[in-house]
């Protein structure tokens, strides 16, 4: 199939393009490079040993999107493009609501115009708010603490209403837990701008000596060792789930948790990183980070049952691949 991948130059999108081409699909990337680099396109082609068509466009631009649908017979859309920094979304709510909602509306409208009925959307476990773990797809969503999370919950509702109005429209809503790691080639991975907010990129930068020590946000949560628990998933496993989601699309809206189903605490991740890479990670315990919840992990059984997909790579692989990518950057 010809798959239009919005945000395909980004972290999860680039790995998914590789997985799609590995499964025999052709990929057309639409990305404005607001949080990625043009040379990622060449790296994707190098890993997959296949050509990619790249449009440097903003997917909130109806006319630019229309040109892609005119130029190619698109069979399906995977919509990754979005702004994703939680703290920034509190400072710039308009930018987040505009970019993340209008992009979804424009792509869904183009699908309607050109009779494309396959749509896969990147949502987030953040929509569960502070529900009881493990999170199950059937749970009522709770308000999130920030505009970013709200854009995901709203996009889910928009797509659900569009699918209600068009019985042929097939939407897969994928709720990602915590993607980490990188492609095993070390060529593509996550390169956050500035000081990382997320745990794994922070740890790799401490390991590299770019940052002095990890600040562990709180050790008084009701968890195994008091530190926050998350469901880390290798980005290549996550990428592969998109191929399974496309293969198993059916009419209506279907929601899937994409995680391993296993919670790992901050200190457990640090220990795994030290073991996997034989490097010590200095850390100190500091105050809790506002907005954080104690535990977040998936009930991942629905994706296994309906998509035949489960995460295969363990925490050691996640830590090893994250470190390999950090080491390769700039070399």
* Catalytic residue numbers, as ranges: 148
* Using rule CB under 6 A, residue 236 touches ligand NAD: no
* Using rule CB under 6 A, residue 199 touches ligand UD1: yes
* Using rule CB under 6 A, residue 80 touches ligand NAD: yes
**Residues 298 and 223: beta-carbon distance below 8 Å:** no
- What is the token pair recorded at 196? 């990382």
CA distances from 61 to 27, 76, 104, 188 (A): 20, 19, 11, 27
* Using rule CB under 6 A, residue 158 touches ligand NAD: no
Q: Which residue's CB is nearer to ligand NAD, number 191 or number 327?
A: 191
Question: Which alpha helices (H) appear in the chain, and where do they start and end?
Answer: 11-22, 39-48, 62-71, 86-91, 93-97, 103-114, 147-165, 199-208, 235-247, 266-277, 301-302, 315-328
Cα–Cα distance measured from residue 250 to residue 84, given in angstroms and rounded to the nearest whole number: 28
Q: If you search the block for the tokens 């429209």, which residue do you land on?
A: 169
Residue list 49-78, contact with ligand NAD (CB under 6 A): 58-60
* Using rule CB under 6 A, residue 289 touches ligand UD1: yes
Which partner in ligand UD1, ligand NAD, none is near 271 (CB below 5 to 8 A by kind)?
none
Q: Which residue's CB is nearer to ligand NAD, number 59 or number 300?
A: 59
Cα–Cα distance measured from residue 175 to residue 172, given in angstroms and rounded to the nearest whole number: 10
Q: If you search the block for the tokens 């605490």, which residue do you land on?
A: 265
Q: Which residues pair with 54 in a beta bridge?
A: 29
**Residues 232 and 264: beta-carbon distance below 8 Å:** yes
Which partner in ligand NAD, ligand UD1, none is near 127 (CB below 5 to 8 A by kind)?
none
Cα–Cα distance measured from residue 89 to residue 48, given in angstroms and rounded to the nearest whole number: 34
Question: Which alpha helices (H) appear in 122-280, and where do they start and end?
Answer: 147-165, 199-208, 235-247, 266-277
- Of 10-18, 25-33, 185-193, 213-221, the window that binds ligand UD1 (rule: CB under 6 A) is 213-221
Do you find a cis peptide bond into 266, omega within 30 degrees of 0?
Answer: no
- What is the token pair recorded at 193? 């701008």
Among 59, 266, 311, 319, binds ligand UD1 (CB under 6 A): 266
Which partner in ligand NAD, ligand UD1, none is near 266 (CB below 5 to 8 A by kind)?
ligand UD1
Residue list 30-69, contact with ligand UD1 (CB under 6 A): none
Closest-by-Cβ residue to ligand NAD is: 10
Q: Which residue's CB is nearer to ligand NAD, number 120 or number 279?
A: 120
Q: Mask 64-103, x = binds ligand UD1 (CB under 6 A)?
A: ----------------------x-----------------
* Using rule CB under 6 A, residue 292 touches ligand UD1: yes
Q: Which residue's CB is nearer to ligand UD1, number 214 or number 276?
A: 214
Cα–Cα distance measured from residue 128 to residue 176, given in angstroms and rounded to the nearest whole number: 11
The alpha carbon of residue 267 and the mean position of all alpha carbons in its chain are separated, in whole angstroms, by: 23
Among 216, 235, 236, 319, binds ligand UD1 (CB under 6 A): 216
Which partner in ligand UD1, ligand NAD, none is near 217 (CB below 5 to 8 A by kind)?
ligand UD1
DSSP for residue 132: P
Compute the residue count for the chain: 331
* Using rule CB under 6 A, residue 172 touches ligand NAD: no
Residues that bind ligand UD1 (CB under 6 A): 86, 124, 126, 149, 178, 197-199, 202, 214-217, 228, 230, 266, 289, 291-292, 296
Interaction site with ligand NAD (CB under 6 A):
6-7, 9-13, 30-36, 58-60, 80-84, 99, 103, 122, 124, 176, 179
């Amino acid at each position: 199939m010809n798959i239009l991948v919005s945000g395909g130059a980004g972290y999860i999108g680039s790995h998914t393009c590789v997985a799609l081409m590995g499964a025999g699909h052709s990929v057309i990337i639409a990305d404005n490079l607001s949080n990625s680099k043009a040379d990622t396109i060449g790296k994707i082609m190098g890993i997959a040993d296949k050509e990619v068509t790249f449009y440097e466009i903003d997917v909130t631009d109806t006319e630019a999107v229309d040109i892609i649908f005119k130029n190619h017979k698109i069979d399906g859309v995977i919509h990754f493009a979005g702004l994703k920094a939680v703290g920034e979304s509190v400072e710039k709510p308009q930018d987040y609501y505009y970019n993340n909602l209008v992009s979804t509306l424009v792509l869904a409208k183009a699908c309607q115009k050109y009779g494309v009925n396959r749509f896969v959307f990147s949502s987030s476990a953040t929509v569960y708010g502070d529900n009881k773990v493990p999170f199950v797809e059937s749970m009522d969503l709770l308000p999130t603490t920030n505009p970013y999370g709200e854009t995901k919950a709203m996009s889910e509702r928009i797509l659900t209403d569009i699918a209600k109005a068009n019985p042929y429209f097939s939407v897969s809503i994928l709720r990602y837990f915590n993607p980490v790691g990188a492609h095993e080639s070390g060529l593509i991975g996550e390169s956050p701008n500035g000081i990382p907010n997320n745990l794994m990129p922070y740890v790799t930068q401490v390991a590299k000596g770019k940052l002095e020590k990890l600040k562990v946000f709180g050790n008084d949560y009701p968890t195994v060792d008091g530190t926050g628990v998350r469901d880390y998933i290798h980005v290549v496993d996550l990428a592969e789930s998109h191929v399974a989601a496309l293969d198993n699309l059916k009419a209506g809206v279907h929601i899937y948790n994409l995680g391993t189903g296993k919670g790992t605490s901050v200190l457990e991740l640090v220990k795994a990183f030290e073991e996997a890479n034989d490097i010590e990670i200095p850390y100190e315990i500091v105050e809790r980070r506002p907005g954080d919840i104690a535990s977040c992990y998936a009930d991942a059984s629905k994706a296994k049952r309906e998509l035949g997909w489960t995460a295969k790579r363990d925490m050691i692989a996640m830590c090893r691949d994250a470190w390999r990518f950090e080491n390769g950057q700039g070399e």
